[in-house]
Amino acid sequence: MKRILITGANGQLGKELTEKASENFTVMPLRKEDLDITDYELVTETMKQLKPDIILHTAAYTAVDQCEIEKMAAYEINALGSSYIAEAANVVGAKLIYFSTDFVFDGKKTSPYQVEDEPNPLSSYGLSKWLGERLVLTKAENCSIIRTSWLYGHHGQNFVKTMLRLAKKGEPINVVADQIGSPTYTADLADYVLKLIDKPNHLYHISNSGACSWFDFARKIFEKAGYDSTLVRPTTTERFGALAIRPSYSVMSHQQLIRVGLELPRKWELALDDYFIKGENQQ
């Protein structure tokens, strides 16, 4: 049975992957407390001891606005730490899958981004993840990169859980309506990740199909949960005033999945239905 090591195993994607991979693999989940990926010697020694066949590198600094304040930490974790993981993967002969983001794009397109499109990150978070991509591709001998977007699931904190918490207050909320992207259910992403383990090394885009604004997404969440969706009010990125610049359009093409024989991911609305069927309070 193949051995899979998962970094960032206490994150929402890390937990999802740990649960799903455990069905068919020997899984070694490492939390932030278990492995400091910015410690080169520790990373190398850990890989030598555990000898994984596959490394799913989900560990990252993902607090987008905080990355603008703690830029050094963002680069140390997302870029330098990822290069250490890549070098250690080579030492033990493991395949590495690195997780990146739609934030590597500047949002100037009006059609889905292809894997061949040139990144142009607007934020420290996006730039640090893109540098992580470049370092992994340069240093890892056996690797794939997966870009994803707008993650939510039953573990950790995310947009869906935030909207449900605010909905319970019964007060109007303002949600940005001029950023367009694709919500991604972690359960669906994890399924695709495991299918890609034996597929050719490449850069892949994985999100649920279709596109919406954060405003559209929030209203649908309210509707599915039985709350008054008219409480969700549209606002602009400028008025919202977030610290980090976000791409105004970050929908990604899934053509590379089709090229390796996989089906298109299901629509984001169907995935959200499934989230509620399984229960938003699932842990």
What are the catalytic residues?
125
pLDDT score at 279:
77
Per the domain annotation, does 283 fall within a domain? Answer: no
pLDDT score at 182:
98
pTM of the model: 0.94
Burial grade of 147 (CB within 10 A; 0-12, 13-18, 19 or more): buried
Per the domain annotation, does 41 fall within a domain? Answer: yes
Average pLDDT over residues 29-36: 95
Q: CA-CA distance, 129 to 121, in Å (whole number)?
A: 9
List pLDDT tens digits, range 85-113: 999 999 999 999 999 999 999 999 999 99
Task: Give yes or no for a contact between 182 and 151, defined as CB atoms under 8 angstroms apart.
Answer: no
Question: 84: domain range?
Answer: 3-158+182-209+252-268
CATH value at residue 89: 3.40.50.720
pLDDT score at 283:
39
Per the domain annotation, does 214 fall within a domain? Answer: no
Average pLDDT over residues 25-53: 96
pLDDT score at 14:
97
List pLDDT tens digits, range 64-76: 999 999 999 999 9
Per the domain annotation, does 231 fall within a domain? Answer: no
Per the domain annotation, does 276 fall within a domain? Answer: no
Q: What is the mean pLDDT of the chain?
A: 96
Burial grade of 265 (CB within 10 A; 0-12, 13-18, 19 or more): buried
Phi, psi of 40 (to 5 degrees): -55, -50
Alpha carbon 111 to its chain centroid, in Å, reads 21
Q: CA-CA distance, 21 to 16, in Å (whole number)?
A: 8
Per the domain annotation, does 75 fall within a domain? Answer: yes
Quote the number of domains for the chain.
1
Average pLDDT over residues 222-245: 94
Average pLDDT over residues 187-191: 97
List pLDDT tens digits, range 144-187: 999 999 999 999 899 999 999 999 999 999 999 999 999 999 99
Task: Give yes or no for a contact between 264 and 253, defined as CB atoms under 8 angstroms apart.
Answer: no
- From the list 263, 255, 175, the residue with the least C-alpha distance to 220 is 175
Percent of the chain with pLDDT over 90: 96
In the structure, what pLDDT confidence band is assigned to residue 203 with cuts at 50, 70 and 90? very high
CA angle 159, 76, 149 (to 5 degrees): 25
Q: Is the pLDDT of residue 52 over 80?
A: yes
Q: Is the pLDDT of residue 282 over 50?
A: no
Q: Is the pLDDT of residue 44 over 80?
A: yes
Per the domain annotation, does 216 fall within a domain? Answer: no
Per the domain annotation, does 235 fall within a domain? Answer: no
